[in-house]
Amino acid sequence: MRMISDNLKSILSKLPKSVTLVAVSKTKPNAAIMEAYDAGHRVFGENKVQDMVAKSEELPSDIQWHMIGHLQTNKVKYIAPFVSLIHGVDSLKLIKEIDKRAAQNNRIIDCLLQIHIAEEETKFGLSDTEATQVLAYAKHLPNVRIKGLMGMATNTRDESIVRNEFAGLKELFLKFQSVSKDLQIISMGMSNDYEIAIEQGSTMVRVGSAIFGQRN
């Protein structure tokens, strides 16, 4: 089982200090998460609300849980008491619900706007215009804080496509940052493309299989 801590150390050694590593623990048992935890890691990402709630109740309370999957509006209430960062805000309806549930828990919840940067239609996300509208609206919501942008590149071996998509997200981030100083995070890059993402200015990478091995 030392594989996980070794993988973690290997990846962290390649990351600049300015980049946060989210260990994607979806589908992984608590024992695997605890190995990463015992190696000093505290930031974990889940893509299913039910799993994240169960793990948050069973695992140490100082873990920062990131919701990295598509979040349905009717499930926000389950994670509002403890979620550290929501990566996938992709509608006005969702940001309103997060604000409402955060207020009920006396919290301000940090969020990222998910931008549609891939060629695949299957990926969720806002267009640049929609993101501009959500960002402007969110400024008036007292219990949410938009901390940055998230994007998922096209699943392709063509690195030039991936590089261009990440570069486009960075460009949009800089444009938004000029009007909203809260923006600090660009979450882009996963196990297969995080090195390109970092080269293009990512400040947060979501890595699962390269830490925990292939999905069960």
- At 105-134, the pLDDT tens digits run 999 999 999 999 998 776 689 999 999 999
- From the options 3.20.20.10, 3.40.50.620, 3.40.50.720, 3.40.190.10, give the CATH code of 2-212: 3.20.20.10
- Rg over CA atoms, the chain: 17
- Using CA atoms, how far apart are residues 98 and 211, in angstroms rounded to an integer? 30
| Predicted local confidence at residue 121, as pLDDT | 76
Q: What percent of the chain has pLDDT over 70?
A: 98
| Predicted local confidence at residue 153, as pLDDT | 94
Spans of all domains in the chain: 2-212
130-to-29, 63, 109, 134 alpha-carbon distances in Å: 37, 32, 21, 6
The reply to whether the predicted model has a pTM over 0.85 is yes
Q: Find out whether 133 and 96 touch, Cβ atoms under 8 Å.
A: no
- The count of C-alpha atoms lying within 13 angstroms of the C-alpha of 208, restricted to the half-sphere facing its C-beta, is 14
| Predicted local confidence at residue 1, as pLDDT | 53
Q: Find out whether 212 and 35 touch, Cβ atoms under 8 Å.
A: no
Here the tokens at position 122 are 């299957």
| Predicted local confidence at residue 215, as pLDDT | 57
pLDDT at 2 exceeding the cut of 90: no
Phi/psi of residue 55, each to 5°?
-65, -35
Residue 46's pLDDT band, with cuts at 50, 70 and 90, is very high
Of the listed ranges 97-101, 179-183, 184-188, 194-198, the least confidently predicted one is 179-183
pLDDT at 28 exceeding the cut of 60: yes
Could you tell me how many residues make up the chain? 216
Could you give the 3-state DSSP secondary structure of residue 162? helix
Here the tokens at position 23 are 């260990």
Q: Which of 169, 166, 127 is nearest to 149 (CA)?
A: 169
- At 93-105, the pLDDT tens digits run 999 999 999 999 9
| Predicted local confidence at residue 166, as pLDDT | 97
